[in-house]
Copies of this chain bind each other. A is one copy, B any other.
């Protein structure tokens, strides 16, 4: 039965050498004489030999792969972070695999943290259990973070970023400023809400009650927030809103426009993330830009440093954000 996959010993037999030599041709060609190398390579071509990764991994005690755990692949926000990660990992000889934490069970997620599965882990989901993640493969956290997990964090200063949005709206003259937060318990939601509240307090402005506009980052949540806002008393409802995600801001704007209102004339809106799309809708969205590619790149570089055994300071890295002013915000009339 010739249909079995050829193994290294088949190649060795055909080339008339030992398996050790074949192995060296593959992973350390300089150690083999030119003649032998040619013979072996011919034998490899003849048999169509391909290396068995399971066997190599078992022997090497490494996999050459890094797994990224993302909470939700449908959020385009993550895609650019992942591409930043890949831009560092791939040239370094690692391959990047992505797993969606929503679609996998907790048991399976812990399995990704096994050295026999991946050499390292980049965690982009703050809702994972810290217990399962520690003491296994090297881990780096990016954007989100797991409370209690002792691993380097590469992120932005969410509270300060949220304050930036408030400052912008306040500077435009708005005094009733609302905030549509992400899901309760999410580390980003909490930090951004906290930053919003503190910024409002610092300016002596009234603080929104988080419960009024708690949501979940999604388009639909933004639309629902719009309904609540539309139903509220015109004299007391916010004249400006900051959102914890661009998606929610989009959903909100779409809905209020459908009700005949005009943004920013009737309400100013600030988003968060600066996903590509929102520059192209009307009105183009004012938002807080996160340096996504840089977040990914730095997270990957820190992971590589840990894999190389360099001792990492372990501090959080805070990357700067930027307020991008477009056309969804305007002075209070």
Contacts and interface: CB of A to CB of B under 8 A. Distances in A.
Interface of A: 5, 50-55, 57-58, 61, 63, 67, 72-76, 78-80, 82-83, 86-87, 90, 95-100, 102-105, 108, 111-112, 114-117, 219, 222-223, 247, 250-251, 253-255, 257-258, 276-277, 279-282, 284
Given A247-B277, A250-B277, A277-B277, A54 B50 contact: no
A210 B219 CA distance: 34
Contacts of A58: 52, 54-55, 58
Q: How many monomers of this chain does the complex have?
A: 2
A246 to B, nearest CB: 10
11 contacts: A52-B114, A54-B57, A54-B63, A72-B79, A74-B80, A90-B105, A97-B99, A98-B98, A254-B282, A255-B280, A281-B282
B100 A82 contact: yes
Nearest to A246: B277
In this complex, the member of A50, A61, A80 whose beta carbon has the largest number of chain B beta carbons within 10 angstroms is A50
A258 B97 CA distance: 40
Contacts of A276: 74, 219
In this complex, the member of A61, A99, A255 whose beta carbon has the largest number of chain B beta carbons within 10 angstroms is A99
A116 B282 contact: no
A281 B73 contact: no
A73 B83 contact: yes
Contacts of A111: 53, 95
Contacts of A78: 73
A117 B74 contact: no
A101 to B, nearest CB: 11
Contacts of A105: 90
Contacts of A51: 114, 116
A185 to B, nearest CB: 22
Closest 7 CB pairs of A and B: A74-B79, A86-B103, A254-B280, A97-B97, A54-B57, A53-B116, A54-B58
